[in-house]
């Protein structure tokens, strides 16, 4: 069974792009290649792309900036492929809108598995988590999430912007209020795959979301930590959730 998906590889190392293009073709992917920001934009303007695999270190405009650019314009999933694989690099990559993050050196077969996983998650998400237009605003315990603007409005009227990763984490919580979710489940739903070596990154994202929700760092009341198990989004009501297909 063929995938019929088009993958855009953005990397200035022509040896890597050639090898990946040949390898991905074995799995029935159509592959496009770009070596810099200019070529990436040209490919996106000329072709329908299902997923972007992008190096972080690029000549001119870097991969983080390009990931943000893609996320502002579309929901095309992005997988970062880079030698910079520290925890903070991973978190920054996720915050920039990446759906996954793979460090170099890497196994090509693992990249294929990650691509397939992200594509499945993206397809399922578009079918099962779409909001109707009348429910752009979701209310919970005095707060309001404005979906299209990706902002929160506090009970006192303060507008709080959310990063792409914070928005996805919060929407995951809103789908499952008062339910225990493990770190693996949160990353699977909010970022598209299980945590593996990224377990601490979900803790950092939870911490950032708590700050946006004005939670007491010592005694958070909305996002509860269950030691050794995960987190519970402890809200009393979520209005508008009926419009979120679950």
The predicted structure's pLDDT at residue 202: 82
CB 241 within 8 A of CB 175: yes
4 phi-psi bin (left φ>0, alpha ψ -120 to 50, beta other): left
pLDDT at 203: 84
Q: Given this model, what pLDDT does residue 169 score?
A: 87
Selection from 50, 51, 81, 45 nearest residue 64 by Cα: 81
Residue 194: cis peptide before it, omega within 30 degrees of 0: no
The list of the chain residues with pLDDT below 50 reads 1, 3, 125-134, 192-199, 241-246
Arch. (CATH architecture) of 6-128: 3-Layer(aba) Sandwich (3.40)
**Residues 72 and 63 sit within 8 Å (Cβ to Cβ):** no
All structural domains of the chain with their residue ranges? 6-128, 133-243
**Which stretches of the chain are assigned E, i.e. beta strand?**
6-10, 30-34, 51-54, 78-82, 100-103, 137-140, 143-146, 151-153, 159-161, 180-181, 223-226, 230-233, 238-239
- Predicted pLDDT at 241: 47
Backbone torsion region of residue 3, taken as left when φ is above 0, otherwise alpha when ψ lies between -120 and 50, otherwise beta: alpha
Q: For the chain, what is the largest distance between any 2 Cα atoms, rounded to a whole number of angstroms?
A: 56
Tokens of 120: 């499945």
CATH (residue range 133-243): 1.10.10.10
DSSP single-letter state for residue 246: -
Q: For tokens 């314009």, what's the residue?
A: 73
What is the Cα–Cα distance from 41 to 44, expressed in whole angstroms?
Answer: 5
Span 103-157, pLDDT tens digits? 778 888 999 998 998 888 766 544 434 433 345 788 888 899 988 888 999 999 9
pLDDT at 88: 66
């Amino acid at each position: 069974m063929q995938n019929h998906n088009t993958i855009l590889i953005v990397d200035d190392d022509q040896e890597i792009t050639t090898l990946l293009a040949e390898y991905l073709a074995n799995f029935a992917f159509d592959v496009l290649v770009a070596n810099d920001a200019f070529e990436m934009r040209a490919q996106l303007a000329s072709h329908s792309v299902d997923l972007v695999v992008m190096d972080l270190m690029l000549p001119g405009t870097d991969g983080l900036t390009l990931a943000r650019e893609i996320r502002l314009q579309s929901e095309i999933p992005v997988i970062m492929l880079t030698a910079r694989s520290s925890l903070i690099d991973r978190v920054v990559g996720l915050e920039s809108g990446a759906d996954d993050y793979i460090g170099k050196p890497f196994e090509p077969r693992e990249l294929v598995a990650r691509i397939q996983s992200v594509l499945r998650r993206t397809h399922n998400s578009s079918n099962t988590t779409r909001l109707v237009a009348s429910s752009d605003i979701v209310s919970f315990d005095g707060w309001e999430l404005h979906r299209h603007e990706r902002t929160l409005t506090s009970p006192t009227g303060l507008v709080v912007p959310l990063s792409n990763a914070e928005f996805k984490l919060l929407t995951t919580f809103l789908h499952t209020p008062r339910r225990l979710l493990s770190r693996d489940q949160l990353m699977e739903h909010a970022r598209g795959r299980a945590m593996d070596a990224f377990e601490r990154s979900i803790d950092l994202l939870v911490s950032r979301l708590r700050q946006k929700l004005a939670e007491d760092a010592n005694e958070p009341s909305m996002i509860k930590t269950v030691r050794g198990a995960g987190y519970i989004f402890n809200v009393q009501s979520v209005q508008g959730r009926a419009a979120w297909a679950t």
